[in-house]
Structure 1
Amino acid sequence: MADDRSIRPLSADDVAAWDREADVVIAGYGIAGVTAAIEAARAGADVLVLERTSGWGGAAALAGGFIYLGGGTPLQQALGFEDSPANMKAFMMAALGPGADEAKITDYCDGSVEHFNWLVDNGVPFKESFYDQPGWETPFDDGLMYSGGENSAPYNTIATPAPRGHVPQMENKRTGQKGGGYMLMKPLADTAEKLGVRAEYDMRVQRLIIDGDRVVGIVAKQYGRNLTIRARTGVVLATGSFAYNKQMIESFAPRLIDRPGAAIEEHDGSAIRMAQALGADLAHMDATEVAFFGEPQLMARGILVNARGQRYVNEDTYPGRIGQETLLRNDNQAYLVIDEDAYETGCAADSSTPFFRFRPKWVAETVEELEADMNLPAGTLTSTVAVYNRHAANGEDPVLGKKAQWCKPIGSPIAALDLRNCTAGFTLGGLRTSVNSEVLHVSGEPIPGLFAAGRCTAGVCAGGYASGTSLGDGSFYGRRAGLSAAKGLSAAEG
């Protein structure tokens, strides 16, 4: 066999014997992999999942658990929120662009209610409870909250606000350890096992195997040994983003150099590179989610300013949008200016991220003193606060559109939190796929036998982000990948 470090495809003619065989072979056992496995198995396929780590879960199991769903899900309706596929699409096209894939977003919105019901039917629990506070996620077991800035400027003027962050219910959850993402993965993994899906762990996929122009298998390494695994009807790639591939980050998303925010280090772009070696097309490789290490309960009550002492984003919006605005458009420079009363009130509020309640770095009696202590250009912060306070006295923010409930003049004593370089993120770009999760060649044609879903693909996010779009897109198109990969089953049997 050729050099096992190569990512170039291996010809099936060079395979002396197959070490494993299945109808559908899936690389990766996170959210995209498990949903692909379930649907392929239900379609009658013999399914084998190859997982690099020692167990199922991937980044999904460590996530907060948001699944971005809408269009009038039973949970939305039960909690009194009206939504429609068209309204959901209007928001997603505005918030997830520029360059958002309209066909994919239309498809996703039209199928959102059915997908919610599918998750419930497969054992994913949702509590009929709405969390109405700003936050990265609910600190409790609520099933629904705003997770993309739908109810804040500018999106609340583009589409009727509706919360679409659906969170699986979990008792005693621990953010980043065992949260809503675990409660999404556990019942799905159990379902896959009951359906007879086989899984092999500590399998590192390395190369695709081709017969002519068709993908017919994968080369993987397990415990130091190269294995050839035949896929009779299709291969599904579901191995995650490239957030931990240093060379790819430097080439495509350099703003994330030294600040990866993916939950697991196995997100190294391996599936993307293997498919590229077959001529697969890519999309939105520069797009990134950006986590901002700021406490939403504090940010909404203060003002965020950049290195020029100017506000640059409405502070009550989705914190991921704040992160993107900070890192991508303001050189990662941010300060939160807030008065003592607002700071104490924000710190006393319920929160899923109390570890972001940083102590102020500067405290002063007047804005002028604070500006000087922060070494900002004279007059910049004072004019910013003066304009903000003038309108906040009337419950307004004509500059950036912060909602009236958060518009209150900044008083004294006044402080500033140093939030410079408080960002990390993961990549959103990847393989270009069809609505049927076919991996597309640079010619625009599907690569026969090859399918993909999840963060190794360019999904519904082209630039912007909303919490839940990774798990939502990954699970929705993971299902499509499984069905598409199993479709050749009858032909293969015949």
Structure 2
Amino acid sequence: MIYHKDFAWDANYDVVVLGFGGAGATAARFAADHDAKVLLVDVAPEGHEGGNTRYSAQLIATGNDFNELKKYYQKLTAPMELDEEMIDTYVDGMVHIPEYVSKYLGVKPYNAKEYTTDKSIAIIEYPEFPGSESCDLTSVTKQWFDAALWQILKEQVVKRQDKIDVLYSTPAEELIQDPESKKICGVVIKRDGKLLKVQAKNGVVLTTGGFENNQRMIEDFIGAKRLAPLGTLYNKGDGLRMAQEVGADFWHLHNYESVGLLHGMAFAVPAGQRGRLMIGPQNKAVSSGSAFVVGDDGTRYFNEAEENRHGHLKNHGQWKVPLNQEHPYLIFDETKKQELDNDKIIGDYKPYTENVIKADSAAELADKIGVAPAVLSDTLSRFNQACQKQDDPEFRRDPATLRAFTGNTIYAVRLEQTMLNTQGGPRRNKNAEILDTRGKAIPNLYSAGELGGICANQYQGGNNLAECLIWGKIAGENAAKPKAAATTDAASGATMPEKHLTSDLKHETYETGENQYIGKSTKGMGDEIVVRVTVDEQKNLKNIEVLKQAESDDYGLKAIKTLPSKMVQENTVDVDAVSGASSSSRGLKDAVRDALSKIK
């Protein structure tokens, strides 16, 4: 939208941050710490904010030697090249992550190399690269995938409610730009169906994440047809669209990360649903024995037993995400089916159990999955020959993982390549300023996080969270710096009154009756979990009501629905967690314990 002299603002802020994930929370917090009045908006409903940070492993890339870590990062980027100042800013930030966590997040940093005893976990994804030994991962607890970092980042925003207003379910529609100076003056947001023009006197920060859930962008920029998102469902490329409209240059649009089974896959789910991340024992179950994967033409297209590196497999000297297949299938025999059925995760997962296809021959199965019978029959024959000879000439799969098919019955289940996050978007500089197509900063426009992330090629785990913290801080501080005076009306010269919007952050109260107690926890995957626990005179559990929660709609919600009655029935908090929902189970139990701790 073009700014003009008769513009009527619906609200005025020093800084507007678009996107309440890890980068947005960081930018808003540091802008507020530099005396800015901040508006932080997110398209997601309350409790579902957090972007991909909420769903991540909560690991932040760090290092102990600037020069060595720089070598490692440059090798990860090669053969692509990046601005030297950008690399130096990034690497310097990673070297100081432990200090950052302690100073700004107020918690003790833990180094993964020190507390991870499972040697099968690859903390360094490319150990053969120069400088890799300097790399480490920092976390705020000794657990992974517990949303702990996200909860801390959000709490930093909540603590600053006097300086930060938060709006949920409020998409940003377009940026407001001065046609002469190209300065970004504000943003149009959509609140309760109404368009509001919000002034940003000092800066707008784009932290809207990538385009994981925008099918057109996926096809246009990545060249893929089907990718199952593993993180938030609310990253739809809004930041790319708004940045493009004001003349931003783009970079890294082709680059994205996968993770999960095989080369970064999941059992297929309906469009618009999150795929389920499975690693470790589940990956071993599908990648070894009498099983292989076929692509769209019914042939194998990769070494199933090769460990992926965030979806990248070795490809003639580099590591690349394999070419996307529209309908890949896992093919397996009766023996493997029994193994999969008996796996405690896979065997309880409906996208697997409800979609297994059975046939009495390879030719019959080929007809059912839409490939040429002769091709699938030949693929099966060649795989069995490789098993018998203990030599896979096509993909050099480890002989220890090869087992020939037995019996006539053969099965298939559809897979999908996963989408962890995209990396591309508007190009930024070391000051977190978004650049135009001529390399000049667009005045008052900043970005941080995965929207136009710095990762250009091969990826080391933890790098995205590191840039959320590093450039979130830089963007927030620079956006907060006072710019040219914008406190007078352009037409009359009169001083403009300050108008703010009503924040969605609020202090909630909950009623209790006799023998009832309120418990709270932030240890789940979503927002705060609040319960009301009723006990009898002997302090036995009689009822557990969940008053507030925002766990994921799949297995997290299952824990919320099933565990309370189980705790009451067994009269203990220490019941088995719901499979696949360990964080949600832990958060609910913690809330109940908090309530019980208040009994006198």
Structure-2-length-normalised TM-score: 0.61
Between stretches 306-315 and 219-228, larger displacement belongs to: 306-315
Tell me the secondary structure at the aligned position of residue 62 of structure 2: coil
Question: How much does 1:243 deviate?
Answer: 2.6
Between stretches 55-64 and 29-38, larger displacement belongs to: 55-64
Identify if the C-alpha distance between structure 1 residues 382 and 465 changes in structure 2 by more than 3 Å, giving closer, same or farther: farther
Q: 2:403 aligns with which of 405, 410, 414?
A: 410
Q: Does 1:41 align with 2:32?
A: yes
* Other-structure match for 1:244: 213
For 2:95 and 2:186, locate their aligned partners in 1 and report how far apart those are by CA, in whole Å.
Answer: 34
For 1:319 and 1:343, locate their aligned partners in 2 and report how far apart those are by CA, in whole Å.
Answer: 29
Q: Does 1:232 align with 2:201?
A: yes
Question: How much does 1:483 deviate?
Answer: 2.0
1:78-477 alignment, distance < 5 Å: 84-85=65-66, 88-95=69-76, 99=80, 101=82, 103=84, 104-121=86-103, 122-123=105-106, 129-130=115-116, 132=118, 145-146=121-122, 150=125, 155-159=126-130, 160=132, 164=136, 166-169=138-141, 179-180=145-146, 182-195=147-160, 196-202=162-168, 203-211=170-178, 212-256=181-225, 259-261=227-229, 263-290=231-258, 291-293=264-266, 295-299=282-286, 301-302=288-289, 304-306=292-294, 307-309=298-300, 311-312=302-303, 314-318=305-309, 320-321=311-312, 328=323, 333-335=328-330, 344=339, 355=349, 358=352, 375=373, 376=375, 380-384=379-383, 407-410=400-403, 418=412, 420-425=414-419, 426-457=421-452, 459-477=453-471
Query: 2:173 corresponds to which letter in structure 1?
Result: Q
Question: How much does 1:249 deviate?
Answer: 3.2
Between stretches 301-310 and 274-283, larger displacement belongs to: 301-310
2:109–2:139 Cα contact (<8 Å) kept = yes
Between stretches 465-474 and 339-348, larger displacement belongs to: 339-348
Question: How much does 1:253 deviate?
Answer: 3.1
Identify if the C-alpha distance between structure 1 residues 477 and 391 changes in structure 2 by more than 3 Å, giving closer, same or farther: farther
1:280–1:432 Cα contact (<8 Å) kept = yes
Q: Does 1:69 align with 2:57?
A: no
Once the two structures are aligned, what percentage of the paired residues are identical?
Answer: 24
Question: How much does 1:252 deviate?
Answer: 2.3
For 2:440 and 2:250, locate their aligned partners in 1 and report how far apart those are by CA, in whole Å.
Answer: 13
Between stretches 235-244 and 98-107, larger displacement belongs to: 98-107
Question: How much does 1:35 deviate?
Answer: 0.8
Question: How much does 1:479 deviate?
Answer: 1.6
Tell me the secondary structure at the aligned position of residue 209 of structure 2: coil
Query: 1:427 corresponds to which letter in structure 2?
Result: T
Which of 1 and 2 has higher RCO (CA within 8 Å, sep 6+)?
1
1:14-33 alignment, distance < 5 Å: 14-16=6-8, 18-33=9-24
Identify if the C-alpha distance between structure 1 residues 205 and 353 changes in structure 2 by more than 3 Å, giving closer, same or farther: farther
Question: How much does 1:281 deviate?
Answer: 0.7
Cα deviation, 1:194-246, whole Å, max 9, x if unaligned, reads: 24431231432222223322112112221233322222221101112223334
For 2:88 and 2:390, locate their aligned partners in 1 and report how far apart those are by CA, in whole Å.
Answer: 39
Question: How much does 1:342 deviate?
Answer: 12
Query: 1:275 corresponds to which letter in structure 2?
Result: A
Cα deviation, 1:169-195, whole Å, max 9, x if unaligned, reads: 388x9xxxxx53x32122122223324
Tell me the secondary structure at the aligned position of residue 423 of structure 1: strand
For 2:99 and 2:438, locate their aligned partners in 1 and report how far apart those are by CA, in whole Å.
Answer: 36
Question: How much does 1:345 deviate?
Answer: 10
Identify if the C-alpha distance between structure 1 residues 411 and 224 changes in structure 2 by more than 3 Å, giving closer, same or farther: closer
For 2:91 and 2:31, locate their aligned partners in 1 and report how far apart those are by CA, in whole Å.
Answer: 23
* Other-structure match for 2:2: 10
Query: 1:169 corresponds to which letter in structure 2?
Result: T
1:99–1:462 Cα contact (<8 Å) kept = yes
Question: How much does 1:398 deviate?
Answer: 9.9
Question: How much does 1:401 deviate?
Answer: 7.9
Query: 1:285 corresponds to which letter in structure 2?
Result: L
Identify if the C-alpha distance between structure 1 residues 200 and 492 changes in structure 2 by more than 3 Å, giving closer, same or farther: same
Cα deviation, 1:133-168, whole Å, max 9, x if unaligned, reads: 76xxxxxxxxxx5367x1xxxx44335468755555
For 1:442 and 1:315, locate their aligned partners in 2 and report how far apart those are by CA, in whole Å.
Answer: 40
* Other-structure match for 1:52: 43
Question: How much does 1:54 deviate?
Answer: 3.8
2:331–2:411 Cα contact (<8 Å) kept = yes
2:266–2:417 Cα contact (<8 Å) kept = yes
For 1:247 and 1:19, locate their aligned partners in 2 and report how far apart those are by CA, in whole Å.
Answer: 33
Question: How much does 1:444 deviate?
Answer: 0.8
Query: 1:220 corresponds to which letter in structure 2?
Result: I
For 1:357 and 1:435, locate their aligned partners in 2 and report how far apart those are by CA, in whole Å.
Answer: 44
Structure-1-length-normalised TM-score: 0.72
Of structures 1 and 2, the larger Rg is shown by 2
Identify if the C-alpha distance between structure 1 residues 353 and 189 changes in structure 2 by more than 3 Å, giving closer, same or farther: farther
Query: 1:284 corresponds to which letter in structure 2?
Result: H
For 2:134 and 2:333, locate their aligned partners in 1 and report how far apart those are by CA, in whole Å.
Answer: 29
For 2:219 and 2:35, locate their aligned partners in 1 and report how far apart those are by CA, in whole Å.
Answer: 43
Identify if the C-alpha distance between structure 1 residues 347 and 468 changes in structure 2 by more than 3 Å, giving closer, same or farther: farther
For 1:289 and 1:407, locate their aligned partners in 2 and report how far apart those are by CA, in whole Å.
Answer: 28
Identify if the C-alpha distance between structure 1 residues 342 and 232 changes in structure 2 by more than 3 Å, giving closer, same or farther: same
2:330–2:413 Cα contact (<8 Å) kept = yes
